[in-house]
Amino acid sequence: MNEMNCNNCQRWLHGYLDNELDTATATLVAAHLEACLKCKHQYEEMKTLIADVKEHVPYYEAPASLTRNVFSAIQAQASPAASIWQTIQDRSRNWFVPAFSMAVLAASVLLYIAVPTNQNLWVDEAVSEHVRSLMAEHLNDVASSDKHTVKPWFTGKLDFSPPVYDFTAQGYPLLGGRLDYLQHQTVAALIYRYNKHIINVFIMPTGEADSSPASLSARGYNIVCWQQNHMRFIAVSDLNRGELMTFSQLVQKGM
């Protein structure tokens, strides 16, 4: 696919929201959304709907027996899909409350699985902003390898003070910083380089407990997320997973 029009964008929009597209297609969709107000409006409406469902739809925890039965059915890979579903239905009758129908249970389970977690929403937008920063050639609002220049630049622009380090000696020089916008919140973005690879580190306040760096991938990019000192960190790059994790641990230790 060499170009992206509105029809193609509509076709790929769900996959873009669910982080299911390859890097090339995701890049084309992101570029089209920047240029097309109609598609961008629909994209924002879909994101809002997903967030509202996640926030307001009640969560019903499945009994441990159902969880075991589901995994047992999945492991029986030789059985056709219809047989697996029938097995789940048959075994679930032992615990299912008569007041609910199997159809309601199935819809609830599918809805819960389909709705992204809070972290996934942050990660999805972080990857999108990483792609946009590379496409628009707008990596930095302040371009400097001096942390004493970059850190003061954020003063008065944010209601928190992001930690800024330069890891030139370790092979990850600081390139600068900029303001970005994730999940309706202004955040700090620090930009680093490893050889020819760009790393965006998004930093924002959070009330969540500290957590160790966790590695994941989306749209062909590697991501490392963690919480520390009441701040959320999301590092995004096309670096391989090990190199990005090494960098993220440097940031964590720098705190």
* Per-residue H/E/C for 209-230: CCEEEEEEEECCEEEEEEEECC
Does 233 score more than 70 pLDDT?
yes
Contacts with 71 (C-beta within 8 Å, 6 or more apart), sequence order: none
Does 173 score more than 90 pLDDT?
yes
**What's the mean pLDDT when you consider all of the chain?**
80
Q: What is the pLDDT of residue 83?
A: 58
CA distance 49 to 191: 31
pLDDT in tens, 95-153: 544 444 555 455 444 444 444 455 678 888 899 899 888 886 678 899 999 999 999 99
Q: What is the pLDDT of residue 113?
A: 43
Q: Which residue has the higher pLDDT, 17 or 214?
A: 214
Residue % of the chain over a pLDDT of 90 = 38
Q: Identify the three-state secondary structure at position 198.
A: strand
Q: Which residue has the higher pLDDT, 246 or 21?
A: 246
Residue % of the chain over a pLDDT of 70 = 74
> Left (φ > 0), alpha (ψ -120 to 50) or beta: where does 232 sit?
beta
CA distance 120 to 20: 13
CA distance 79 to 86: 11
Does 196 score more than 50 pLDDT?
yes
Other CB atoms within 10 A of residue 231 CB:
20
b/e map 203-226, b = 16+ CB within 10 Å? bbeeeeeeeebeeeebbbbbbbbb
Other CB atoms within 10 A of residue 87 CB:
16
Q: Identify the three-state secondary structure at position 22.
A: coil
Does 35 score more than 70 pLDDT?
yes
pLDDT in tens, 47-95: 777 776 766 666 566 677 777 777 777 666 545 555 555 655 665 555 5
